Structure 1
Amino acid sequence: MKINLKITYLFAALIISTFSYAQKNQDITYSSIGAVQSRSSHEIAASNWSIGGETMDRDFTDFDQWKQYLGATGAKKIRLQAGWAKCEPKKGEYDFEWLDRIIDEVIAQGVEPWLQTSYGNPIYEGGGMPNLSGGFPVSEEALAAWDQWVMELVKRYKGRVKIWEIWNESDLNSENTPDAYSKIFVRTAEIIRSEIPEATIYALSLAGINVEYVEPFLAYLKKHDKLDLVDVITLHGYTYRPEEIYTKYEKIQSLTKSYSDHIIIGQGELGCPSENQKHYALKNYPWTEVSQSKWMLRKLLGDLGRDIPSLYFSIIDMNYVRVLEKVNGKITVLKDPIYTVNTKGLIKAKKDNTVDYLKPSYFAYQNLTSIFDYSLKRITNYPYVTDASSSLSVYGYRADSSDYQVVTIWENGDTPNNSTNKTTIDFEFTNGNFSEPVYVDMRTGEIFDIPKNDWSKKGTHYKFINIPIYDSPILIAEKSLIKLKSKKK
């Protein structure tokens, strides 16, 4: 199958040795020295980054079509949905072959599976629906069947799956109250821990970041002495300007700490469309493949700058097919299935779920994973001074091996747009450490020398002038910390 990668424009600048920006009444030319070399998941020991592989339980994507591109992303974890209804199509009869293939393959590619137990199963009365907002199992028979399915999962994947997440976005269904979620969580988590005592368990997977949902959950666990069942509370929270969500994250983080000193928060599912779409999160906005890349980088690096484990949703576009609906309490088959597409993928999918091409965001994600692994440590409250009039995000990192630094910078005041125009500003880093600083555009992966007359140092005080910035992350980085792509001979 011939795949159109559509990446020519990303690397065109590598053919030309320089580029220019109009700035502060003058033109400044940077010399190109190459591009970021991607690293596979096998080549990266550990990092903050996960990738979404969701919806295969409903066949909205086809693993065999995109699996060859997984390890090349550099992601260290992948979120998968186990799919009760797909695993148990007939009462008491299980089919795990589809999930076996996926879990074994992702592990072989150096990616750790993170397995979510969801959704309902309509073969049981009161078993819920097999889709988002479908509702928990509630009848005695359905709950017993749920318990048995979870036990079968845990026994089967013990030794292969350590990370388990219980349900997805339960807060989207008004019937899924905090009390109802707390009960399904505890019964499920106890089954998991009974077979895998060392299991890492993720809770809540909230669509909306509401204290009113989290606090009753934590209070329930405390009352029943079950707080030890939770390791991570996963939060979503789609916002057009990615930085807008953090005040809500901080509230949840503060609340969680008041109950437990071992539970952390993690970003468990966020992504951005690559075109204007009428359905799903972040709909009805003129997104492009450029603005998608910007959004992705800003959200993930914003999480990193707050020490929040982070996931991008999703690796490939999802072709949604809805065939069931609940009418007057009864589940019925739709006469005409509803087809929609969710374009948040790093890979463009065709209608038959085959791969069309790798989007620019795929390569931007590779740039992220290549540079920001666990060998870089965040510098808390990295000190800087700037003449910028716009709102900025600025975070500093140091290398374990050398103490040299990488600084991430972007304009954060608005929703990412489609423009690639940049303006220039000056920076002072009062506790910097650079020997040979370079400029990196994270979106394209291009690397440039910073002219010697545009930076200076006095002890640990560094000055950088005329640094081009825009609403997408750029780096001022020590050259030795950036793996450069080898030039073809």
Structure 2
Amino acid sequence: MKKYFIISILCLAEISLMAQSRSVTWEKFNVSGPALKPIGQIAVRPSKDIAASQWSVGCETLDRDYGKFDNYKSYVGELGVKSARIQSGWAKCEKTKGEYSFEWLDTCVYGLSEQMVKPWICLCYGNPLYGANKELGAKIFTDETTMSAWLRYVEATVKRYKNTVSEWEIWNEPNLRSNPPEAYASLLMKTTESIKKIQPDAVIIGFSLAGISTDWAKGVFEVLKANNKTNIVDYLTYHPYVHNPDDALINIRELSEMAKSYDPGIRLFQGETGCPSILEWGHALSYYEWTEYSQVKWDLRQMINHWAEGIRYSIFTLVDLQYPNMLQSFGLLRTNLLKQVVYKRPSYYAVQHVVNLLDNSVTPSGKHKYTANTMRKISVVGLKKDNVFGVMLWYNDRIPDNDLKWDLTDITIESVTLKDPVFVELVTGKVYEIPAYNRRAIGVDMKFIDLPLRDSPVLIAERAQLTIKESE
């Protein structure tokens, strides 16, 4: 009797776990498609089957044990990204002065690499052994003893991973907690010198700005200029957390213009941004009623805006992170308090579709002008593959909402002609027919009648340019 009771309890536990894996929001997205004929679904590939792309995903905070890499490792390659950001964790690697334990970091670096995902490492934070804080917003040390210990750690890390890692980011969000630009500039110059001593062809990623702090970054550049070192950084990273992702573009362009005035060869890299899926009381975008519906719309809009500008992009973050005071909800994967994956959020599928569609075989072709019978403002982003064009469209004038309804819009898009266009809903990846009577070419322009639109990007592309599979 006891044996059967235990078996029953185990079965109930298994059923309970299965129930937890259900995503209600994903189910609702799948039954809220446009009133068009479905013809299939976008076929997706894992990272190992994608030759190259600009897309990265965040695997941050493992240095502070806010996540567990082994619990989500396989989801990285399945997502289809070609790189991933991890943090090196000086305090976790050096717990006794002069002795380094890299085994935990080995698991992450080589676990990503074996999936054909290139790790890029953010070297951070301080180490309490030397009186330096190991948390976000840590004060940048300037004393000789701590700096020397830091540089020894940097050299040991680069030596260990130089055959696998070629891109090194120096610190995370140094502009927090009133760190002066001069302190970061000194850290940047000294750390770059140590990296290049071990790996001369290393790619240096710098700044890692919280937000888009152009004035603070300019202060750093002034110090670099005074030392004749404005060209030591290959990529300038920044973290644009804004409620309407379309509002970030003007500040991003200003940041780029300022940076290029010091070093014309420097490139921007969006190194960390994402959206919560619940109302949070801490961290970025807090005190706003986010949901899994608005999260996925936000992620798509921010990703495509950066892609259209030709800027590399890393999405924050793959999993919910267990901070000391809260379980953060930015993850593409929902996790529980045991750091286990509960289910894929709609945002996971949406990112998977975008990184598969917009690999390096596809290039942005600019923003298109349009006329439409709506008061809403629309983004129309062009794309090109083998000289065949397509467009992505969405309402851009408001913070993403929770509404899944479609507006039927008449829109004429300038400078795009399509012979056999289909409609792709990017969250679910479902592909739909566009009836011939709902579209027509007008010279070099294209008019669509009753085109379904909402505040989440959709793709209109030539059928022959897509790999379409049967719907599951």
Q: TM-score range by the shorter chain?
A: over 0.9
Aligned equivalents of 1:193 and 1:142: distance in 2? 20
The correspondence for 1:148, drawn from 152, 159, 180, is 152
Q: Does 1:370 align with 2:374?
A: no
- Residue 307 of structure 1 corresponds to 310
**Alignment check: 8 A CA contact 1:39 1:369 kept:** no
The aligned amino acid for 1:424 is: L
Aligned equivalents of 1:278 and 1:459: distance in 2? 53
List gaps (5 residues or longer) in structure 2. 1-13
Aligned equivalents of 1:479 and 1:286: distance in 2? 38
Aligned equivalents of 1:382 and 1:198: distance in 2? 39
Secondary structure of 1:130's aligned partner: coil
Aligned equivalents of 1:51 and 1:266: distance in 2? 13
Aligned equivalents of 2:334 and 2:231: distance in 1? 41
1:54 Cα deviation after fit: 0.2
1:483 Cα deviation after fit: 2.1
Aligned equivalents of 1:358 and 1:449: distance in 2? 28
1:433 Cα deviation after fit: 3.5
Q: Does 1:80 align with 2:64?
A: no
The aligned amino acid for 1:121 is: N
- Residue 229 of structure 1 corresponds to 232
Aligned equivalents of 2:95 and 2:417: distance in 1? 59
- Residue 331 of structure 2 corresponds to 345
Query: What does 1:349-428 correspond to in 2, within 5 Å?
Result: 349-400=335-386, 403-428=387-412
> What TM-score comes out, normalization by structure 1 length?
0.90
1:208 Cα deviation after fit: 2.9
Aligned equivalents of 1:247 and 1:9: distance in 2? 32
Query: What does 1:155-304 correspond to in 2, within 5 Å?
Result: 155-174=159-178, 176-304=179-307
Aligned equivalents of 1:186 and 1:61: distance in 2? 31
Aligned equivalents of 2:33 and 2:402: distance in 1? 19
- Residue 50 of structure 2 corresponds to 44
Q: 1:418 to 1:484 in 2, by over 3 A?
A: same
The correspondence for 1:461, drawn from 436, 442, 445, is 445
Give CA deviations for 1:457-481 in whole Å, capped at 9, x if unaligned. 2553322111111110011111122
Q: 1:459 to 1:11 in 2, by over 3 A?
A: farther
The aligned amino acid for 2:156 is: E
Q: 1:79 to 1:13 in 2, by over 3 A?
A: closer
Aligned equivalents of 1:441 and 1:447: distance in 2? 7
Q: Does 1:131 align with 2:131?
A: no
Q: 1:208 to 1:461 in 2, by over 3 A?
A: closer
1:485 Cα deviation after fit: 2.8
1:206 Cα deviation after fit: 0.4
How many residue pairs were aligned?
A: 456
Determine what percentage of the aligned residue pairs are the same residue: 35
- Residue 33 of structure 1 corresponds to 39
Aligned equivalents of 1:137 and 1:439: distance in 2? 53
The aligned amino acid for 2:135 is: N
Aligned equivalents of 2:26 and 2:462: distance in 1? 23
Give CA deviations for 1:71-125 in whole Å, capped at 9, x if unaligned. 0111111010000000101111100011011101101111110101100001113
Q: 1:85 to 1:380 in 2, by over 3 A?
A: same
1:435 Cα deviation after fit: 2.4
- Residue 3 of structure 2 corresponds to none
1:8 Cα deviation after fit: 7.2
- Residue 22 of structure 2 corresponds to 6
**Alignment check: 8 A CA contact 1:190 1:229 kept:** no
CA RMSD of aligned residues (A): 1.8
**Alignment check: 8 A CA contact 1:440 1:475 kept:** yes
Give CA deviations for 1:380-423 in whole Å, capped at 9, x if unaligned. 343433333211111101103xx222211111111111110111
Aligned equivalents of 1:214 and 1:437: distance in 2? 44
The aligned amino acid for 2:22 is: K
